[in-house]
Amino acid sequence: MRFIQSTPQTYVNALKKEQVEWPVKQDDFFPYSSDPHWYWSGFYSSRPAFKKQVRDASAAWGAHSKLLARKAIDLGTKDNEIDSILKAHHSLLDGLGVSQHHDAITGTAKQYVTNDYSVRLWKGVDKS
């Protein structure tokens, strides 16, 4: 057996050379069931308002990041101002972090959990 360092393109070319055929799944993956009468469906269509809130908060975080960078390089900015901006920045990042958990963004979380995610996002956006 011989091991070589490779690149993705080299690997794909080797597979093509060996004429590897990948199986194609024809049926649907959904709905998924974890227990009797307990189906997980609507991953891409459930809780559209919450998913929009996550997208909007993510856009706000990007804008806040740019403002933070501008304030950080401005020599006139006081340390306490930067600390305040960083706290708001981290608050929004924390809200986004939990809101992108697999049960949050797919819409499979319980309603009270989704409400908590939503409040965290709102607080983060409000602070920023």
The tens digit of pLDDT for each residue in 91-100 reads 999 999 999 8
Count of CB atoms situated within 10 Å of the CB of 11: 10
Give the model confidence (pLDDT) of 22-79 as tens digits: 888 776 666 666 777 776 666 667 888 998 999 999 999 999 999 888 888 888 889 8
**Residue 32: what are its φ and ψ, rounded to 5°?**
-90, 140
Q: Which residue has the tokens 């706290």?
A: 87
Residue-range domains of the chain with CATH = 47-127 (1.20.1270.50)
Distance between CA 101 and CA 78 in Å, rounded? Answer: 35
Distance between CA 79 and CA 70 in Å, rounded? Answer: 14
R_g (Cα) of the chain, nearest Å: 23
Does 121 have pLDDT greater than 90?
Answer: yes
**Model-wide pTM > 0.85:** no
Residue 40's pLDDT is 66
